[in-house]
Amino acid sequence: MLKLKTIKNVTQINVKSDYYIPIDIDFYFNPINWSPSMYWKTGYMGKTLLELLLEQESGFIKSITMTLLPKIKVIQQYSACDKNANTKNGSPVFDVKKYGNQFVVEEPINFEAILSNNNLFIIFSNDKINLKVANERVIFGFNEKKALCLIEVKDLSAEEIENLKINQQSS
């Protein structure tokens, strides 16, 4: 599982959604030296797929792309985080040292997706969230060991919600 290394300044993001790719989020930052990228992929046996594009040396996040969604649970009032969880504004930088120079890292996780009040929660683990890192419409939740437990995309438009529903798995 990806672990938080540090938090950098908030970066501008662009959330895109269409019929083929229901969630595609680009993070814009201007590092001095770009290193090659690595794809961190997770999902479950061809039924779900989520990719984080990271800078290979630093662990800066470049994008999040969800191409295959699980069945989305719709819950009226959902909160994945403890009200006392520490919240910091910024962009997470992940510890990628253990992956070396790999271009693609696959860590199978049967994640779930919850839609609540125009927010999408992508849940990797039900661990208690101790830290939230908020970057515009995207919130990352980490447990006490700094492992990534969830990604929340806030304030989805009607079109973004429709694209999610069209692309979700039926089972």
Token pair for 29 = 């930052």
For residue 28, the number of C-alpha atoms closer than 13 Å in the C-beta half-sphere is 5
Rounded CA-CA distance 142/130 in Å is: 6
Which residues are CB-contacts of 140 (< 8 A; sequence separation ≥ 6)? Answer: 4, 92, 132, 133, 134, 148, 150, 151, 152
The number of folded domains in the chain is 1
pLDDT at residue 17 tops 70: yes
Residue 69, domain extent: 4-167
pTM over 0.85: yes
Angle at 14 between CA 9 and CA 16, to 5 degrees: 150
- Residue 139: what pLDDT? 96
What would the mean pLDDT of 17-39 be, rounded to a whole number? 82
Mean pLDDT of 116-123: 94
